[in-house]
Amino acid sequence: MSESTSSLPSTLEEPVWKTILTELQQIGVKLFFVLVPINRKVNILAKWDLWGPLVLCMTFAMFLSFNAPSGQGDIMFATGFFIVWIGAVVVTVNAIILGSNISIFQSVCLLGYCIAPLVLAEAINTLLGLVGLDIIFIKLVVTFISFVWSTFAALSFFFKTVEMKKVALVLYPVILFFLAIAWLILVC
Protein backbone atom coordinates (compact mmCIF):
# COMPACT_ATOMS: atom_id res chain seq x y z
CA MET A 1 0.00 0.00 0.00
CA SER A 2 1.36 3.40 -0.87
CA GLU A 3 2.10 5.91 1.86
CA SER A 4 -0.43 8.45 0.57
CA THR A 5 -3.24 5.89 0.72
CA SER A 6 -2.33 4.71 4.22
CA SER A 7 -2.27 8.26 5.60
CA LEU A 8 -5.98 8.83 4.84
CA PRO A 9 -8.20 8.79 7.93
CA SER A 10 -10.04 5.53 8.39
CA THR A 11 -13.05 4.91 10.58
CA LEU A 12 -12.17 1.22 10.68
CA GLU A 13 -9.22 1.89 12.96
CA GLU A 14 -10.88 4.32 15.38
CA PRO A 15 -13.12 3.46 18.34
CA VAL A 16 -16.83 3.07 17.60
CA TRP A 17 -17.78 5.92 19.95
CA LYS A 18 -15.46 8.31 18.15
CA THR A 19 -17.08 7.40 14.81
CA ILE A 20 -20.57 7.87 16.26
CA LEU A 21 -19.66 11.24 17.77
CA THR A 22 -18.13 12.37 14.47
CA GLU A 23 -21.31 11.40 12.61
CA LEU A 24 -23.51 13.14 15.21
CA GLN A 25 -21.39 16.27 14.89
CA GLN A 26 -21.82 16.27 11.09
CA ILE A 27 -25.58 15.78 11.51
CA GLY A 28 -25.64 18.73 13.91
CA VAL A 29 -23.77 20.96 11.45
CA LYS A 30 -26.19 20.11 8.64
CA LEU A 31 -29.21 20.65 10.89
CA PHE A 32 -27.79 24.02 11.90
CA PHE A 33 -27.51 25.10 8.26
CA VAL A 34 -31.12 24.08 7.67
CA LEU A 35 -32.53 25.57 10.88
CA VAL A 36 -30.50 28.79 10.59
CA PRO A 37 -30.39 29.46 6.83
CA ILE A 38 -28.12 32.50 6.95
CA ASN A 39 -24.72 31.54 5.55
CA ARG A 40 -25.12 29.66 2.26
CA LYS A 41 -21.51 30.03 1.09
CA VAL A 42 -20.49 26.72 2.66
CA ASN A 43 -21.45 23.69 0.57
CA ILE A 44 -22.74 21.29 3.20
CA LEU A 45 -23.98 18.89 0.55
CA ALA A 46 -20.51 18.07 -0.71
CA LYS A 47 -20.41 15.38 1.98
CA TRP A 48 -23.94 14.01 2.03
CA ASP A 49 -25.24 11.42 4.47
CA LEU A 50 -28.52 9.66 5.05
CA TRP A 51 -28.26 9.14 8.84
CA GLY A 52 -29.75 12.51 9.75
CA PRO A 53 -32.64 12.24 7.30
CA LEU A 54 -33.34 8.71 8.52
CA VAL A 55 -33.48 9.85 12.14
CA LEU A 56 -35.72 12.80 11.25
CA CYS A 57 -38.00 10.61 9.15
CA MET A 58 -38.28 7.98 11.88
CA THR A 59 -39.03 10.68 14.47
CA PHE A 60 -41.69 12.20 12.22
CA ALA A 61 -43.29 8.81 11.57
CA MET A 62 -43.17 7.98 15.27
CA PHE A 63 -45.04 11.19 16.18
CA LEU A 64 -47.60 10.48 13.46
CA SER A 65 -48.20 6.98 14.81
CA PHE A 66 -48.43 8.35 18.35
CA ASN A 67 -51.18 10.78 17.29
CA ALA A 68 -53.04 8.21 15.19
CA PRO A 69 -56.47 6.91 16.17
CA SER A 70 -56.56 3.64 18.05
CA GLY A 71 -55.37 0.71 15.93
CA GLN A 72 -53.98 2.87 13.10
CA GLY A 73 -50.52 3.67 14.46
CA ASP A 74 -48.79 1.22 12.12
CA ILE A 75 -50.54 2.65 9.09
CA MET A 76 -49.65 6.24 10.04
CA PHE A 77 -46.01 5.28 10.69
CA ALA A 78 -45.77 3.64 7.27
CA THR A 79 -47.57 6.55 5.60
CA GLY A 80 -45.22 9.14 7.11
CA PHE A 81 -42.13 7.09 6.26
CA PHE A 82 -43.36 6.43 2.71
CA ILE A 83 -44.27 10.05 1.96
CA VAL A 84 -40.92 11.39 3.15
CA TRP A 85 -38.67 8.93 1.32
CA ILE A 86 -40.64 8.35 -1.87
CA GLY A 87 -41.50 12.06 -2.08
CA ALA A 88 -37.84 12.98 -1.76
CA VAL A 89 -36.90 10.53 -4.51
CA VAL A 90 -39.64 11.82 -6.84
CA VAL A 91 -38.59 15.45 -6.29
CA THR A 92 -34.98 14.45 -6.92
CA VAL A 93 -35.72 12.56 -10.13
CA ASN A 94 -37.73 15.55 -11.38
CA ALA A 95 -34.82 17.90 -10.65
CA ILE A 96 -32.31 15.60 -12.36
CA ILE A 97 -34.53 15.23 -15.44
CA LEU A 98 -34.75 19.03 -15.66
CA GLY A 99 -30.97 19.32 -15.67
CA SER A 100 -30.15 19.97 -12.03
CA ASN A 101 -26.51 19.42 -11.17
CA ILE A 102 -27.26 17.73 -7.83
CA SER A 103 -26.84 14.01 -7.24
CA ILE A 104 -29.70 11.84 -6.05
CA PHE A 105 -28.09 11.25 -2.65
CA GLN A 106 -27.33 14.96 -2.15
CA SER A 107 -30.93 15.87 -2.92
CA VAL A 108 -32.44 13.18 -0.70
CA CYS A 109 -30.03 14.28 2.05
CA LEU A 110 -31.05 17.91 1.61
CA LEU A 111 -34.78 17.20 1.59
CA GLY A 112 -34.40 14.88 4.56
CA TYR A 113 -32.67 17.53 6.63
CA CYS A 114 -35.13 20.21 5.51
CA ILE A 115 -38.05 18.34 7.11
CA ALA A 116 -36.54 19.20 10.52
CA PRO A 117 -38.84 22.23 11.08
CA LEU A 118 -41.84 20.08 10.15
CA VAL A 119 -40.73 17.37 12.58
CA LEU A 120 -40.41 20.08 15.21
CA ALA A 121 -43.95 21.27 14.40
CA GLU A 122 -45.28 17.72 14.76
CA ALA A 123 -43.51 17.42 18.14
CA ILE A 124 -44.96 20.77 19.31
CA ASN A 125 -48.44 19.81 18.15
CA THR A 126 -48.15 16.45 19.94
CA LEU A 127 -47.03 18.11 23.17
CA LEU A 128 -49.82 20.67 22.95
CA GLY A 129 -52.30 17.83 22.48
CA LEU A 130 -50.93 16.03 25.55
CA VAL A 131 -51.45 19.09 27.76
CA GLY A 132 -54.96 19.69 26.41
CA LEU A 133 -54.22 22.59 24.06
CA ASP A 134 -55.21 20.78 20.88
CA ILE A 135 -56.59 23.96 19.31
CA ILE A 136 -56.72 23.88 15.51
CA PHE A 137 -55.66 27.54 15.17
CA ILE A 138 -52.43 26.96 17.14
CA LYS A 139 -51.76 23.76 15.19
CA LEU A 140 -52.35 25.61 11.91
CA VAL A 141 -50.01 28.49 12.81
CA VAL A 142 -47.20 26.19 14.03
CA THR A 143 -47.50 23.97 10.96
CA PHE A 144 -47.62 26.92 8.55
CA ILE A 145 -44.51 28.51 10.05
CA SER A 146 -42.62 25.20 9.85
CA PHE A 147 -43.81 24.67 6.26
CA VAL A 148 -42.48 28.08 5.21
CA TRP A 149 -39.24 27.45 7.12
CA SER A 150 -38.67 24.04 5.52
CA THR A 151 -39.56 25.29 2.07
CA PHE A 152 -37.28 28.31 2.32
CA ALA A 153 -34.37 26.17 3.49
CA ALA A 154 -34.78 23.70 0.62
CA LEU A 155 -35.48 26.26 -2.08
CA SER A 156 -32.37 28.25 -1.24
CA PHE A 157 -30.31 25.14 -2.01
CA PHE A 158 -32.26 23.96 -5.07
CA PHE A 159 -32.35 27.43 -6.62
CA LYS A 160 -28.60 27.22 -7.28
CA THR A 161 -28.68 23.80 -8.97
CA VAL A 162 -30.67 24.51 -12.13
CA GLU A 163 -30.83 26.96 -15.04
CA MET A 164 -32.90 30.07 -14.43
CA LYS A 165 -35.52 29.20 -17.08
CA LYS A 166 -36.26 25.83 -15.36
CA VAL A 167 -36.30 27.03 -11.76
CA ALA A 168 -40.09 27.02 -11.40
CA LEU A 169 -40.33 23.46 -12.76
CA VAL A 170 -37.83 22.26 -10.15
CA LEU A 171 -39.12 24.31 -7.22
CA TYR A 172 -42.83 23.56 -7.63
CA PRO A 173 -42.50 19.83 -6.69
CA VAL A 174 -40.32 20.80 -3.72
CA ILE A 175 -43.12 23.04 -2.44
CA LEU A 176 -45.67 20.27 -3.01
CA PHE A 177 -43.48 17.81 -1.12
CA PHE A 178 -43.40 19.99 1.99
CA LEU A 179 -47.08 20.87 1.58
CA ALA A 180 -47.97 17.15 1.63
CA ILE A 181 -46.00 16.66 4.84
CA ALA A 182 -47.58 19.75 6.42
CA TRP A 183 -51.04 18.52 5.44
CA LEU A 184 -50.29 15.16 7.05
CA ILE A 185 -49.34 16.97 10.25
CA LEU A 186 -52.59 18.95 10.21
CA VAL A 187 -54.93 16.03 9.64
CA CYS A 188 -53.35 13.79 12.26
Residue 57 domain-assigned (yes or no):
yes
Residue 87 domain-assigned (yes or no):
yes
In the chain, how many domains are there? 1
Residue 164 domain-assigned (yes or no):
yes
Residue 3 domain-assigned (yes or no):
no
Residue 32 domain-assigned (yes or no):
yes
Q: What is the pLDDT of residue 2?
A: 45
| 147-172 mean pLDDT | 86
- Tell me the per-residue pLDDT of 47-79, one tens digit each, with 9 for 90 and over: 788 889 999 999 999 999 998 888 899 999 999
In the predicted structure, residue 158 carries a pLDDT above the cut 90: no
Q: Which domain holds residue 67?
A: 8-187
DSSP string computed for the chain: --HHHHTS--TTSS-HHHHHHHHHHHHHHHHHHHHSTT--SS-GGGS--SHHHHHHHHHHHHHHHHHSPTT-HHHHHHHHHHHHHHHHHHHHHHHHHTT----HHHHHHHHHHHTHHHHHHHHHHHHHHHTT---HHHHHHHHHHHHHHHHHHHHHHHGGGS-GGGHHHHHHHHHHHHHHHHHHHHH-
Residue 158 domain-assigned (yes or no):
yes
Residue 53 domain-assigned (yes or no):
yes
Residue 1 domain-assigned (yes or no):
no
| 125-140 mean pLDDT | 89
Q: What is the pLDDT of residue 3?
A: 46
